[in-house]
Structure 1
Amino acid sequence: MNAIADHLSEPQLRDLINGSVDEQSAASWEKHLEDCGHCQDALQTMATGEIPIDSLVADVKSLNPPDQSAYWPAIKAIDEEIKTSLSGISTSAADTPAEGTSSVADTDGGLPFVPAKPTGDLEFLEPSDDPAYIGKLHHFQIARVVGRGGMGIVLEAFDTHLQRSVAIKVLNPQYQSNDIARQRFCREGRAAAAIAHEHVVSMYQVAKAQEGEVAYLVMQLIDGDTLENRLRDGQPLPPNEVARIAMQTAAGLSAAHERDMVHRDIKPANILIETKTDRVKLTDFGLARTTDDVKLTETGMVTGTPLYMSPEQTLGETADERSDLFSLGAVMYEMATGVAPFQAPSALGVMQNIMNVTPDAPHKVNAGITRPLSDLIMSLLAKKPADRPESASSVATALASIVNEYGPISPLQVPAVAASEVKKLSGSYRRLERRWVLAAWLAGVVGLLIAVGTFIAMRPDSGDNFPSVVLPDNPGTVWSIDFAPDGKQIAAAVEDGSVRIWNVADQKLLKSFNAHRGIVWTTAYHPDRPMLVTSGDDSLVKLWDTDTFDLIRQWKATSAVRGVAFSPDGTRIVAGDRDGQLHVYDLDRGEEVATTTHEGSILGVDYSADGKLIASVGSDKIVRLFDADTLELRQSMTGHDGPIYNVKFAPVGDKLATVGWNKNVRIWNSETGTQTSELIGSEGDIWGVSFCADGTHLVTGEQMGAARVWEIATGDAVATLRGHTSAVHNVSLDPTAHRIATSSRDGTIRVWDMSGLEP
């Protein structure tokens, strides 16, 4: 190692900037730089020529005393963060006790268990009376340490009040007495709690710690892995995965940007991927801030991770939404090529590259990357914010078109984007000179980009004039709804795991309870008993008492249950899961009485009006009819050209309706197994379907935000209901009045008065 005299020599400084020095020397020299103002000044000038390095961060110049410069500790901390980034809130992390935590051991000679006081950086925990846990925090039993990051410790915990597992992020003990740090930490919680989106980790609670107590955040626990871990081997991901992961990340960003909130630290470690669904969840808004907020820090520290910073972040300038897009582009580049676009041996080198270097286009590094995807990535990496795409939602939409290149794209893959962001797109489709938009348009051909553009250009301002009331503020997508048999209430299945019960007459929320861990996919009222069935992403089917909302019983399927229905006589439940297994449960005996398996995921099930048949539809494009008692296959019907999302028998007669991908609405004869008609005129993929009481009309819910009433005999759409700003996922008809309820990805439920419709 080269020795250090009073100051580093010019060759030594240059070697440090260029990264051409061994690790031991680099560590020694950086240690010297922390305390040497003379060498800091020399390095500043040398690193950027006429631009001193202190101009790369906000206000460092005026706060740069030789012995207390905040910049160099920040650089050191950032370098350390790159090496030991928090692996995310993921239950896949190694389950080993952290240093200073207690472990469970056998008691000696039957002596009573005495809880050990947590030590180390977990001293803020109280001892737990349960030896299965390492401690407790208020009513949360702490199971393990998931990871440690720059500002927080992430714990897996059990909420004893709501009986569910959660993740808790606790501000590092060394920052608890720092008012600036506590403000930033609490702001993280408020920022995340304000965003309700399927691709953002849900925030449950922002704790207001009492004096002397720790500050902590309670959030959704994700069973999955981080994108950082998927990229750890340095190999590129398949191109379709690059586009899909980026599409869902951009959609999560659009929800944050809709609230004038900038994430400021988009990186692979903050992109979680669920194990069962591969769904993306964006996390860690620790550096997020509203765009009109003032800086809490007065140290001039650079915030963000250097490998994925935008040029304006490295310069200490205000970072807006387009800064997040640059960071997304850097992450996409690494997914596409296996290497970060601006990597260098030191943080200083990375920052120089971000400002001055344009990396090779991804399609030149990896021949498997298509030109449209490559061009989009490079447009995101434009040095000037004005040269980047205008919004996260437009990026998500363009990526949806690119995903479509690799096969049919379904609403199961396409994320929601903020409604007002979608409206901004109407102008962008008239300005196709940007290469990335044009490339995505041409490559997608019939992709979602064209579909959304056509939808915006051609749809009228409003549909048929039917009044509706709105049941608002559901915490995320409402995947399923059902009218109670008396028509007075509506049950809603929400993506955050809750079920909400609304009073229709006065639009009041009567009850909200946590039903499942993860998305609640389906809910349905029993035909004549005070019961409600729900199914969820946690593989459970649950039966609830609608008077007390106590759990009556539950059944465990093999995977997430997307479809569930009562038999007409109310004695049985049929459920279909993602692994293609069909289950029939007896309500009174509580037993599974029949099961069978077929290809593909099951997305919808229903009983025939006479209770003799069960219909099943899903990802393999086949409609199957089974004997309701034995589950012996009776009919297999084909004709759909993509996944089938829902199925419904008519209340009378032998008609069966199926809906799905690519505007498909098909009517079948359940006796003969033949298709009798196809209803044409929808504006997008179809999610929800229901018959009217006499089976003469059909109601469907569409991807483009409309519900449609069809007259089956003529095949005509007799009414179009507009008002939702995103996909309509489910429809339900009031059994007592001329009303239709629709639920949407936009988080609202609408109840439409159809009494004005001509008979």
Structure 2
Amino acid sequence: MNVIDQCPNPVELSELIQYELSEADTDRVTQHIQNCTTCQQKLQTIASGDVPVEELVQELKEQNPEGGSAFWATIERLSDEVRSQQTINLPGGSQASSADTSSFNNAGKHDSATPPPHIPASTNQPEDLSFLEPSDDPAYHGKLQHFQIARVIGRGGMGVVLEGFDTHLQRSVAIKVLNAQYQQNDLARQRFCREGRAAAAISHEHVVQMFQVAKANDDGIAYLVMQLIEGETLENRLREGQSLPPNEVARIGMQTAAGLSAAHKRGMVHRDIKPANIMIESETNRVKLTDFGLARTADDVKLTKTGMVTGTPLYMSPEQSVGEEADERSDLFSLGAVMYEMATGVPPFQAPSALGVMQRIVNHHPEPPHKINPSVTRPLSDLIMSLLEKSADDRPESAAEVATALASIVSEYGPISPLQVPSIAASEVKKLSGSYRRGERRWAIAAWVTAALAIMVALASFMVMRPDLGDDFPSVVLPDNPGTVWASDFSPDGGSIASAVEDGSVRIWDVGTQTLKKSFNAHRDLVWSVAYHPTRPMLMTSGGDAMIKLWDTKNYEVAREWKATSSVRGVAFSPDGNRIVAGDRDGVLHVWDIDSGDEVASVETPGSILGVDYSADGRLVASVGHDKVVRLFDAETLEERQSMSGHDGVIYNVRFAPTGPLVATVGWNKNVRVWNSETGTEVLNLEGSEGDVWSVSFCTDASHLITGEQMGAARVWNLAAGKPVATLRGHSSAVYNVALNPASHHIATSSRDGTVRVWDMSCVAK
């Protein structure tokens, strides 16, 4: 008889649950169990009947938790829960306790062919959408108030997620509707709505934006309206069991931590961080964290029914697994578990049953990632292991701290785009610096300490040398934009400012009264750029949906639009206003005629294009981007005339001077450079920036340069002296765009903090 055909003895089955079998024996036993219903039943009996829960967490019991702690009540409830579980069908016709819903052929991870019991086995099964009203349009399944429902995106234990079309704002959205069983539970429904409203207060580029919390009518179903993300979950990327490149592990972890930081500052704890709740945008590769607060809603229903321990076992923290209160550091443990799986291809606490996973979370210390995957650097491995400390007190102190440390690690792999940098307020970075004083913490390695000290020294020395700098100039704040403001522009008369917002909208502000004049949905993805036409009543926008649009500013209807090959970050009008130039993510430079709508010319360049501009005489077009080269083209034919090198990383923006041959470029690693467009030579390399520089513009006489920086400042440079003459502080996060009022000495800065500031620079001009 083949050894795989032999039934394992009870000891082997017990050791399998305890994760004590050798690798070879584990493979043999699990292969056998896949096809042996008898052993499946025996395994379930051992896991959920004959072996008490108390024994599975014996080591924790020996720590003698206090009699009044949640541990003892949780163990008692869990024991009753496990023994009273109803059975569910397993492949092959056998049955198993619902306490263990794992697929045996993947050692504790759900296999794509065997979904958890709350998810239908076929995604093509008809969904109960009886709560929808009939739609007048046969292309839709139905409607929910003013949302036309296009399709079912996914299903989960909490409910169903639908793609809807908002007929009021003319945009696609995701709608999450509570399951019928939860709709009948007042506590769950109230928590669902309350947590949804709290989540709506989080405005962050790494959190799925919540637009609306509503009920269909007074007694109708509760639902949430959210940002629709075009992409995939991290769970899908990890489905094959392959590890991700270390730089991706650090980047995804960094952005997830940044999103957690934004929530934690609002007093919200996620409590269910797992790959399925981490979305990755297809166009930008950006992380979007979803389901904030919703896990807590499910907890209410489960506790009402059974008192069952909640959370996703593979990623829950030790304190969650024994029923104690989860706080921000519990989210960090779960993040560590997710990052461990990204780095190694396997979760850190695998076991064939949910109870086995919980036992390993409490007692087992996994092998460090760098020992499993040699490509993982020691700093990244050490940080992951620090997140997995059993005691919450031994983990990093905050998600902001983790994001900052990971940013340092990510930067070691080379320049990254502005979409990849975590949004941590400059004030937070300065506060975090103090936390590195705890040198005894194992995870605070020398590289991070050095980086933090460098930030403090640079900021301190800069303020000593420039004591007059700061938020000293009169400014107007235009707040409450729903997300990062990627760009802004003054109208030709200087009376209005248009802002390009992350949620796909454009907002028009009256500068004098500081009031919002108009808000409209411009793109299906974030709006990268906004620019007023120099002479006509038109506004140009470009977005992540690859569209460039011209809007009539009389009624804000689309006058003309073009489709590029991919996301368009850089756009500019020609000086005479008859043409536009646009550069896209695929490296294609386009020139279109505004009146005819025809494409006049196009050319492919190496790497993504992030910034473009026309020279003052309209004869040249400049493009910059990921290839670190400044390229100048003939504006008519797009034949390359000059290429200028010198940047040591990505170039984010380019601007020609309004007079003369100068062209300025800014980018990664504090680069601010000025070139002669006629000779192709570098004229100035300006030093003194505090971080990556995202935006640049000349004043009207080309005597000064204005830049926007990562640390939340805008800087005014005197080109003759080659030094800054003013630094504008006030933003709490990166300044992504600077714009000048053509009618006065005013500067508009737009920021990741969701605000636009208007600065009166009359005193500098004098």
Q: Offset of 1:603 from its aligned partner?
A: 0.7
Letter of the aligned partner of 2:58 in structure 1? G
Corresponding residue to 1:99 among 97, 114, 125: 125
Q: Unaligned stretches of 5+ in structure 1?
A: 1-8, 88-92, 101-119
Q: Offset of 1:412 from its aligned partner?
A: 3.8
Identify the residue that residue 53 of structure 2 maps to in structure 1. Answer: 44
- Give the whole-Å Cα distance in 2 for the aligned partners of 1:657 and 1:215: 53
Identify the residue that residue 18 of structure 1 maps to in structure 2. Answer: 18
- Give the whole-Å Cα distance in 2 for the aligned partners of 1:681 and 1:506: 35
Q: Offset of 1:183 from its aligned partner?
A: 2.3
- Give the whole-Å Cα distance in 1 for the aligned partners of 2:731 and 2:400: 17
Identify the residue that residue 362 of structure 1 maps to in structure 2. Answer: 369
- Give the whole-Å Cα distance in 2 for the aligned partners of 1:296 and 1:97: 25
Q: Cα distance 1:149–1:440, how it changes in 2: closer, same or farther (>3 A)?
A: farther
- Give the whole-Å Cα distance in 2 for the aligned partners of 1:515 and 1:143: 21
Q: Unaligned stretches of 5+ in structure 2?
A: 1-8, 20-28, 89-96, 114-118
Q: Offset of 1:457 from its aligned partner?
A: 4.4
Identify the residue that residue 98 of structure 2 maps to in structure 1. Answer: 76
Q: Offset of 1:666 from its aligned partner?
A: 1.2
Q: Offset of 1:275 from its aligned partner?
A: 1.3
| 1:427-446 alpha-carbon deviations (Å, 9 max, x no partner) | 1233333232225427xx7x
Q: Cα distance 1:296–1:709, how it changes in 2: closer, same or farther (>3 A)?
A: farther
Does residue 381 (structure 1) correspond to residue 388 (structure 2)? The answer is yes
Q: Offset of 1:61 from its aligned partner?
A: 6.9
Letter of the aligned partner of 2:98 in structure 1? K
Aligned counterparts, 1:114-193, within 5 A: 120-193=127-200
Q: Cα distance 1:595–1:466, how it changes in 2: closer, same or farther (>3 A)?
A: same
| 1:388-419 alpha-carbon deviations (Å, 9 max, x no partner) | 01111111111111112222345342110255
Q: Offset of 1:15 from its aligned partner?
A: 6.9
- Give the whole-Å Cα distance in 2 for the aligned partners of 1:73 and 1:425: 50
Helix, strand or coil at the partner of 1:319 = coil
Corresponding residue to 1:234 among 236, 241, 247: 241
Q: Is the CA contact 2:75–2:322 (under 8 Å) kept in the aligned structure 1?
A: no
| 1:480-523 alpha-carbon deviations (Å, 9 max, x no partner) | 01111111111111111111111111211111111111211110
Q: Offset of 1:131 from its aligned partner?
A: 3.2
| 1:429-478 alpha-carbon deviations (Å, 9 max, x no partner) | 33333232225427xx7xx6566444554454961621212111111111
| 1:238-260 alpha-carbon deviations (Å, 9 max, x no partner) | 11111111111111111111111
Q: Which range moves more in the overlay, 402-411 or 519-528?
A: 402-411
Aligned counterparts, 1:424-573, within 5 A: 424-441=431-448, 449=452, 452-455=455-458, 457-458=460-461, 460=463, 463=470, 465-573=472-580
Letter of the aligned partner of 1:76 in structure 2? S
Q: Which range moves more in the overlay, 68-77 or 205-214?
A: 68-77
Corresponding residue to 1:345 among 346, 352, 361: 352
Helix, strand or coil at the partner of 2:445 = helix
Does residue 718 (structure 1) correspond to residue 725 (structure 2)? The answer is yes
Letter of the aligned partner of 1:312 in structure 2? E
Q: Cα distance 1:494–1:260, how it changes in 2: closer, same or farther (>3 A)?
A: same
Q: Is the CA contact 2:14–2:46 (under 8 Å) kept in the aligned structure 1?
A: no
Identify the residue that residue 310 of structure 2 maps to in structure 1. Answer: 303
- Give the whole-Å Cα distance in 1 for the aligned partners of 2:425 and 2:180: 37
- Give the whole-Å Cα distance in 2 for the aligned partners of 1:380 and 1:31: 32
Q: Cα distance 1:400–1:541, how it changes in 2: closer, same or farther (>3 A)?
A: same
Identify the residue that residue 272 of structure 2 maps to in structure 1. Answer: 265
Identify the residue that residue 691 of structure 2 maps to in structure 1. Answer: 684
Identity of aligned residues (%): 67
| 1:676-700 alpha-carbon deviations (Å, 9 max, x no partner) | 1221211111111111111111111
Q: Offset of 1:73 from its aligned partner?
A: 9.5
Q: Is the CA contact 1:656–1:670 (under 8 Å) kept in the aligned structure 2?
A: yes
- Give the whole-Å Cα distance in 2 for the aligned partners of 1:375 and 1:473: 39
Helix, strand or coil at the partner of 1:746 = coil
Letter of the aligned partner of 1:606 in structure 2? D
Aligned counterparts, 1:304-343, within 5 A: 304-343=311-350
Q: Is the CA contact 1:191–1:289 (under 8 Å) kept in the aligned structure 2?
A: no
Identify the residue that residue 745 of structure 2 maps to in structure 1. Answer: 738
Letter of the aligned partner of 2:584 in structure 1? D
Q: Which range moves more in the overlay, 461-470 or 545-554?
A: 461-470
- Give the whole-Å Cα distance in 2 for the aligned partners of 1:657 and 1:418: 27
Q: Aligned pairs, how many? A: 716
Identify the residue that residue 115 of structure 1 maps to in structure 2. Answer: none
Letter of the aligned partner of 2:498 in structure 1? A
Q: Cα distance 1:429–1:65, how it changes in 2: closer, same or farther (>3 A)?
A: closer
Given the two structures, how large is their TM-score scaled by the length of structure 1? Answer: 0.87
Letter of the aligned partner of 2:747 in structure 1? I
Q: Is the CA contact 1:563–1:576 (under 8 Å) kept in the aligned structure 2?
A: yes
Letter of the aligned partner of 2:618 in structure 1? G
Aligned counterparts, 1:393-408, within 5 A: 393-408=400-415
- Give the whole-Å Cα distance in 2 for the aligned partners of 1:58 and 1:554: 65
Q: Cα distance 1:211–1:634, how it changes in 2: closer, same or farther (>3 A)?
A: same
- Give the whole-Å Cα distance in 2 for the aligned partners of 1:158 and 1:85: 33
| 1:583-613 alpha-carbon deviations (Å, 9 max, x no partner) | 1111111222221111111111111111111
- Give the whole-Å Cα distance in 2 for the aligned partners of 1:278 and 1:449: 27
Q: Is the CA contact 1:180–1:296 (under 8 Å) kept in the aligned structure 2?
A: no
| 1:292-327 alpha-carbon deviations (Å, 9 max, x no partner) | x99994442322100000011111111111111100
Does residue 415 (structure 1) correspond to residue 422 (structure 2)? The answer is yes
- Give the whole-Å Cα distance in 2 for the aligned partners of 1:10 and 1:296: 32
Letter of the aligned partner of 1:98 in structure 2? N
- Give the whole-Å Cα distance in 1 for the aligned partners of 2:316 and 2:452: 28
Does residue 619 (structure 1) correspond to residue 626 (structure 2)? The answer is yes
Superposition RMSD in Å: 3.3
Identify the residue that residue 23 of structure 2 maps to in structure 1. Answer: none
Q: Cα distance 1:73–1:611, how it changes in 2: closer, same or farther (>3 A)?
A: farther
Q: Offset of 1:212 from its aligned partner?
A: 4.5
Letter of the aligned partner of 2:53 in structure 1? Q
Corresponding residue to 1:646 among 641, 653, 656: 653
- Give the whole-Å Cα distance in 2 for the aligned partners of 1:399 and 1:151: 32
Corresponding residue to 2:637 among 630, 633, 639: 630
Q: Is the CA contact 1:63–1:69 (under 8 Å) kept in the aligned structure 2?
A: no
Helix, strand or coil at the partner of 1:250 = helix
Aligned counterparts, 1:596-615, within 5 A: 596-615=603-622
- Give the whole-Å Cα distance in 2 for the aligned partners of 1:153 and 1:510: 37
Q: Offset of 1:219 from its aligned partner?
A: 1.1
- Give the whole-Å Cα distance in 2 for the aligned partners of 1:511 and 1:584: 29
Identify the residue that residue 4 of structure 2 maps to in structure 1. Answer: none
Letter of the aligned partner of 1:142 in structure 2? I
Q: Is the CA contact 1:86–1:148 (under 8 Å) kept in the aligned structure 2?
A: no
Does residue 224 (structure 1) correspond to residue 231 (structure 2)? The answer is yes
Q: Offset of 1:632 from its aligned partner?
A: 1.7
Identify the residue that residue 285 of structure 1 maps to in structure 2. Answer: 292
Q: Is the CA contact 2:166–2:173 (under 8 Å) kept in the aligned structure 1?
A: yes
- Give the whole-Å Cα distance in 2 for the aligned partners of 1:419 and 1:169: 34
- Give the whole-Å Cα distance in 2 for the aligned partners of 1:455 and 1:192: 36
Does residue 751 (structure 1) correspond to residue 758 (structure 2)? The answer is yes
- Give the whole-Å Cα distance in 2 for the aligned partners of 1:695 and 1:616: 20
Q: Offset of 1:28 from its aligned partner?
A: 5.0
Given the two structures, how large is their TM-score scaled by the length of structure 2? Answer: 0.87
